[in-house]
């Protein structure tokens, strides 16, 4: 059995057996995750070779990368996007290939509108994929990335007000270079969630931007007392005449 060797480019690795294996599972996850998220603006930051927004019903879907054939060329740390404007952001393996991943997380929190969603995928260092990176060559995608621990990502999210609402793992089989060995280890994908749920080669996280709301104080209409009616003043002479008339009637 051979383990996946380095690939000179991302595109070449994505069409290799482990690349196709990873992409199939990630596509399935993103298809379900984005299908029921509504809004007007969705951005995919990185891995633009794959349309991870294909099932989204958001009308404006934008692919973002520093270079290449994308909708918007930009640095992930400084997006030319208005604050509090995006409804959905996808980060497929974006953090581990940046020198400043925490800055990207802050930028994501800035761009997302309140109650906006972010979905990320990352390589898990506590897995057979992480072991392959530690023991083998780190040349080529994905082994030249900085695999980030899941707990650290969660801490970054909490600091910027991103509340995690869902998560999952995939790619429990080792990253074998030969398709026949991947097929033989197929049972590990089915048993992974039950027997070693934290050891998937890829982790997914979904989070929502929570913003402390402003309490609008409204007047308590039901508790307000009705204004008292002012009675017209009665002249003293009229009172005396009414009193005399009353005495006459009693007599």
Find all residues with CB under 8 Å of 202, minimum gap 6, and list them.
22, 25, 26, 121, 122, 123, 124, 129, 169, 170, 171
Angle at 180 between CA 176 and CA 182, to 5 degrees: 40
User: Of the ranges 91-95, 130-134, 213-217, which one carries the lowest mean pLDDT score?
Assistant: 213-217
- pLDDT exceeds cutoff 60 at 238: no
Per the domain annotation, does 219 fall within a domain? no
Per the domain annotation, does 107 fall within a domain? yes
- pLDDT exceeds cutoff 90 at 137: no
The pLDDT assigned to 5 comes to: 44
Strand 202-209 and strand 162-170: the pairing is antiparallel
Per the domain annotation, does 226 fall within a domain? no
Per the domain annotation, does 133 fall within a domain? yes
The pLDDT assigned to 38 comes to: 94
The pLDDT assigned to 2 comes to: 42
Find all residues with CB under 8 Å of 139, minimum gap 6, and list them.
6
Find all residues with CB under 8 Å of 102, minimum gap 6, and list them.
156
Strand 162-170 and strand 86-92: the pairing is unpaired
> Into how many domains does the chain fold?
1
Q: What value does the mean pLDDT take over residues 10-23?
A: 93
- pLDDT exceeds cutoff 70 at 226: no
User: Of the ranges 24-28, 143-147, 195-199, which one carries the lowest mean pLDDT score?
Assistant: 195-199
Q: How confident is the model at residue 119 (pLDDT cuts 50, 70, 90)?
A: very high
Per the domain annotation, does 170 fall within a domain? yes
Q: CATH no. for residue 60?
A: 3.40.50.150
Average pLDDT, the chain: 86
- pLDDT exceeds cutoff 50 at 56: yes
Q: What share of the chain is helix, strand, coil (3-state, %, to 5)?
A: 35, 20, 45
The model's pTM: 0.79
- 211 vs 33: which has the higher pLDDT: 33
Per the domain annotation, does 248 fall within a domain? no
Other beta carbons less than 10 A from residue 23's beta carbon: 17
- pLDDT exceeds cutoff 90 at 151: yes
The separation between CA 193 and the C-alpha centre of its own chain, rounded to angstroms, equals: 22
Residue ranges with strand state E in the chain:
41-45, 60-65, 72-73, 86-92, 112-123, 162-170, 202-209
Mapped onto helix, strand or coil, the DSSP state of residue 67 is: coil
Per the domain annotation, does 48 fall within a domain? yes
Which residues constitute the domain of residue 194?
10-209
Q: What value does the mean pLDDT take over residues 61-68?
A: 94
Per the domain annotation, does 68 fall within a domain? yes
């Amino acid at each position: 059995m051979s383990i996946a060797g380095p690939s000179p480019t991302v595109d070449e690795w994505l069409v290799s057996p482990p690349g196709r294996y990873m992409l199939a599972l990630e596509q399935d996850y993103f298809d379900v995750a984005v299908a029921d998220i509504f809004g007007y603006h969705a951005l995919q930051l990185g891995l633009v070779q794959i349309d991870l927004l294909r099932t989204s019903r958001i009308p404006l879907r934008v692919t973002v990368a520093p270079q290449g054939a994308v909708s918007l060329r930009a640095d992930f740390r400084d997006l030319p996007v208005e604050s509090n404007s995006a409804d959905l952001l996808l980060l497929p393996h974006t953090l581990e290939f940046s020198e400043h991943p925490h800055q990207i997380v802050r930028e994501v929190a800035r761009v997302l509108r309140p109650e906006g969603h972010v979905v990320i995928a990352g390589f898990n260092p506590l897995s057979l994929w992480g072991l392959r990176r530690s023991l083998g060559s780190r040349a080529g995608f994905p082994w030249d990335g900085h695999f980030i621990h899941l707990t650290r990502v969660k801490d970054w999210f909490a600091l910027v007000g991103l509340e995690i609402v869902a998560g999952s793992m995939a790619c429990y089989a080792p990253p074998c270079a030969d398709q026949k060995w991947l097929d033989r280890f197929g049972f590990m994908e089915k048993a992974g969630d039950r027997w070693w749920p934290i050891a998937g080669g890829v982790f997914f996280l979904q989070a929502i931007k929570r913003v402390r709301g402003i309490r609008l104080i409204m007047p308590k209409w039901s508790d307000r007392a009705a204004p008292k009616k002012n009675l017209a003043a009665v002249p003293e002479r009229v009172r005396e005449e009414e009193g005399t008339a009353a005495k006459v009637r009693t007599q």
